[in-house]
Amino acid sequence: MRLLFVHERIGALGGAEVNILVTAQALLRRGHTLGLAHGGSAACNELEWREAFPYRIALDESVGTGGMILALAQFKPDVVYLHKFSDPDVLNILAGCSIPVIRVVHDHDLYCMRSYKYHYLSRRICKRAASLYCVFPCGASVARGRKGGFPLRWVSYFAKRREIAANKRFHRMVVASDYMRDELLHNGFAPGKIEIHAPVPRPIEFVEAPSFSRRNLIVYSGQIIRGKGVDVLLESLAKVKSPFECIILGDGNQRADCERLCTRLGLDDRLQFTGFVPQAKVAEYYRDASLAVMSSVWPEPFGAAGLEAMRCGLPVVAFDAGAIREWLADGVSGFLAPWMDRNAFAARIDTLLQDKALARRLGERGRELAAERFSFDAYINGLEGLFARAAARDEAAPAEVAAAIS
């Protein structure tokens, strides 16, 4: 099958990019022909992307919508697999073309003008659908600038409504969790067009359990941006009573702030920022760890980084935000701390560092649950089935999807 991926960038950056790459590599191994229509470069791990996508075309400002039209004409895809892309002209071309388009909703930027579904100052999670409330009193029309220069940018509510309307015309919407399915339903998407395919991490390349050594190593893997709560993690770690080391794997626009906070909290001798680490190397850091942490304070659409740690046999401590509870069973495979409760988060870490037998049990049970519920092969099989139905113009949703939405 010929599958044209469409995404806002080429190269690794966050969870969406990790999912795109490992999915493409698996589909390539199964004999599918892949293409990529993309925006700018993420400047990380771009070589692997070029190997996964033999056909590529840039959709930059100089090309405009002509690039998307050219990609459809040249590549002749059976299915378009759309990821993050908000250009209205490109969306309208895809919505109006005769090729089935399957859209993956990785996060909240489709229906949230702020894109992260919480209030910038209070971080309180928003539970509303897109509406004029987003303009006033939320004030989401004014957002942080992303391309340098002036620090603020204007976000049009009516443009967001048009973007939502264009997405409602696509063949299927793919989400990672019940939480995200409910968000789409709340925003008026047709239940029969929504399918859940959790973005399972690629198979782990080693099988031995983590060491749970006296080093008491804690691992965080993810972007260092405000929604991921790394600053809240640091404030929680400052309350941990047990000796520990912590490694922060990742990078992002809040890294400098977090490094300064780390110094102010007196954590410099116990904490290391590594910068960007290729996904294939992340699991190596889990070998000598005692637990993984997931400090997201925005409503996580899924939280695949935490699931990956669990698949490596580590217990996970996370805030109860968004869909995390759909894969992290409190007291079974790790601990859920109440949202933004730094004392509770620190206490859960202390419990695991002080009771290594418990940490091992939770880690092993987590590994078993991840294998039972989140098989990588089953994930790819599910996507292949979705693509085949779309290419055959089969409008019927699978039985399990129909049951879930009835």
Mean pLDDT over each residue of the chain, to the nearest integer? 92
Q: What is the pTM of this model?
A: 0.91
Q: What is the pLDDT of residue 88?
A: 92
Q: Are strands 152-154 and 142-144 parallel, antiparallel or unpaired?
A: antiparallel
Rg (Cα) of the chain, in Å, rounded? 21
**Of 211, 381, 217, 207, which is closest to residue 311 (Cα–Cα)?**
207
- Count of positions (residues) in the chain: 406
Order of all β-strands in the sheet with 79-82: 55-58, 33-41, 2-10, 79-82, 101-104, 172-175, 194-196
CB 123 within 8 A of CB 195: no
63 or 245: which leads in pLDDT: 245
pLDDT single digits (tens) 297-345:
999 999 999 999 999 999 999 999 999 999 999 999 999 999 999 999 9
pLDDT bucket at 181, cuts 50 / 70 / 90? very high
Contacts of 90 (CB under 8 A, 6+ apart): 6, 59, 65, 68
pLDDT single digits (tens) 78-88:
999 999 999 99
Query: 217-234 b/e with 16+ CB inside 10 Å = b?
Result: bbbbbbbbbbbbbbbbbb
The CB density around residue 188, as the number of other CB atoms within 10 Å, is 12
pLDDT single digits (tens) 203-244:
666 557 899 999 999 999 999 999 999 999 999 999 999 999
Which helix (H) or strand (E) element contains residue 237? helix 230-237
Positive/negative CA dihedral, 186, 192, 193, 198? positive
Q: Is the pLDDT at 96 greater than 50, yes or no?
A: yes
pLDDT single digits (tens) 9-28:
999 778 899 899 999 999 99
Distance CA 120, CA 200 (A): 30
Bridge partners of 175?
Answer: 196
Phi and psi based region of residue 24 (left: phi greater than 0; alpha: psi -120 to 50; beta: remaining) = alpha
The CB density around residue 84, as the number of other CB atoms within 10 Å, is 20
Which helix (H) or strand (E) element contains residue 102? strand 101-104
Domains of the chain: 2-200+376-397 (3.40.50.2000), 217-373 (3.40.50.2000)
